[in-house]
Amino acid sequence: MLKSEKSLGIIFFPAFDWAISPTHPEREERLLYTQDQLREEGLFDMEGIAEYKPLVADIEDVERVHFCFPEPQSVVTRSHLVSAGGAIRAAQLVMEGERDRSFAIVRPPGHHAMKVVHGSRGFCNINIEAVMIEWIREHYGPKRVAIVDTDCHHGDGTQDIYWHDPDTLFISLHQDGRTLFPGTGFPKDMGGPSALGRTLNIPLPPNTSDEGYLMAVERIVLPILEDFKPDLIINSAGQDNHYSDPITNMNVSAQGYAKLNSMLNPDIAVLEGGYAIQGALPYLNLGICLAMAGADFSHVREPDYTPEKWKQDARTTAYIEQLCDVLPQIYFNPPPFDGSEKSAQGVIAGDRAIRHKDIFYDTDGITEAQTETLYLCDHCRGLLSCESRSSNNPLCLGVEIPQSACPACRKKGYKLIEDAQIKGAYRYVQLINRLDKEYMRYGF
């Protein structure tokens, strides 16, 4: 009988009764064949592997992370709450020591959902990893967390949420944004002035195969993880780098994904994208599950896989080698933050770091204009405020008092809310007070 080295909890929630639309890539059928494959392989009978049902996230779990306008209920469906609840269950299993590792194979995904939410972007409404991580911090205290996003698309939502957080390391490996949605994720994006180098983007050229992908992980990601010493490693386990994925151009195989996972050694993995639902997902998920459990995955491969066909050319290899040489410096030795007027990363004006963002919600067709202000503070992470207006909502305001807030920032946060109500022209105002665990919204 096959045994696993590590105990693994799998939260499998295919949401067989929810879809964006009947023919959308993110639909009911997406995890159907994965389920067939995992069952047929007898994965859930393996000693050490157990299947769990998801929790259902509360609205408060969402409010802890996002500014949802006009309110969370209008941007999340029950399916999103279950998907986030699946991630939370995965975290709970590991945090309580019931399992060594866990993998939330849930849908819909979440890594394109940013701090402010007006609707759905890139099939994502709420960021299920962030909801999970903040749930962990709320229940188990401050934690240093590393998120390694291996989805083929840049994890722009997760990057946005943790832009100013020095305790969260966000590394995204993705197909170069010049060739794929959402068109972002370049090395120049390094995190805000108080979290420089905590965001690291690794844009890989189209047609990168296992070789190049694993090289980037080995030479860039692993040394940084080693140095950061996170309490938890989270894998945003998107699976659309697969050679057969219909909406991307990468050439990674099931073996590549399984090896990636065993190198990364994540405590928790959360499924993100991956739309080759017949030819890839069943094998990828099987490979990842086996790798996470520390079990033999050497026989897992796609039926049509021929390594020679997907071998990357020498130019690609050379290009990735260059990336491996330079990119680690962004973490180990980030250049000082350029907060001048001409910087695209935002400007520093007095004690504030200000960014203007124009965001397009491709799934829902919403446009948003946002001004994000971080009040720089020497004593804590700093107070965050987001002023936002979209084609869905009039001017709104979100204010976040961080978990580690100093008394001055806390006071300033309340002052901002008070001013907004009395003087501001905001239709909706939301307060996230992580220090006192207080989540409030005004305006109906």
Q: Is the dihedral of CA 322, 327, 333, 337 positive or negative?
A: positive
Shortest Cβ 304–another protein spacing (Å)? 8
The residue from 112, 118, 174, 242 that is catalytic is: 112
Clarify whether 112 is annotated catalytic: yes
Closest CA to 255 of 221, 213, 225: 213
Cβ contacts of residue 372 below 8 Å, gap of 6+?
A: 115, 346, 354, 355, 356, 357, 384, 385, 386, 387
Beta carbon nearer to another protein, 221 or 289 = 289
Burial class (CB in 10 A: 0-12, 13-18, 19+), 437: exposed
Shortest Cβ 100–another protein spacing (Å)? 19
Beta carbon nearer to another protein, 50 or 369 = 50
Shortest Cβ 40–another protein spacing (Å)? 4
Binding stretches for another protein (CB under 8 A) = 1-2, 12-18, 22-23, 27-29, 32-33, 35-37, 39-43, 45, 51-54, 56, 78-79, 82, 246, 278, 282-283, 286, 290, 296, 298-304
Report the C-alpha gap between 320 and 211 in whole angstroms.
10
Report the C-alpha gap between 220 and 327 in whole angstroms.
7
Beta carbon nearer to another protein, 35 or 207 = 35
Closest CA to 428 of 389, 384, 381, 380: 389
Tokens of 42: 């007898």
Beta carbon nearer to another protein, 23 or 333 = 23
Q: Is the dihedral of CA 413, 419, 424, 427 positive or negative?
A: positive
Shortest Cβ 405–another protein spacing (Å)? 36
Shortest Cβ 421–another protein spacing (Å)? 35
Torsions phi, psi for 169 (to 5 deg)? -95, 125
29-35: list long-range contacts, CB under 8 Å, 24+ apart: 29/277, 30/107, 30/274, 30/275, 30/277, 30/281, 31/105, 31/107, 31/277, 31/281, 32/277, 33/277, 33/278, 33/281, 33/282, 34/105, 34/277, 34/281, 34/282, 34/285, 34/286
Shortest Cβ 276–another protein spacing (Å)? 12
Report the C-alpha gap between 215 and 393 in whole angstroms.
44
Beta carbon nearer to another protein, 292 or 420 = 292
Report the C-alpha gap between 8 and 267 in whole angstroms.
10
Beta carbon nearer to another protein, 301 or 357 = 301
**Residues taking part in catalysis:** 112
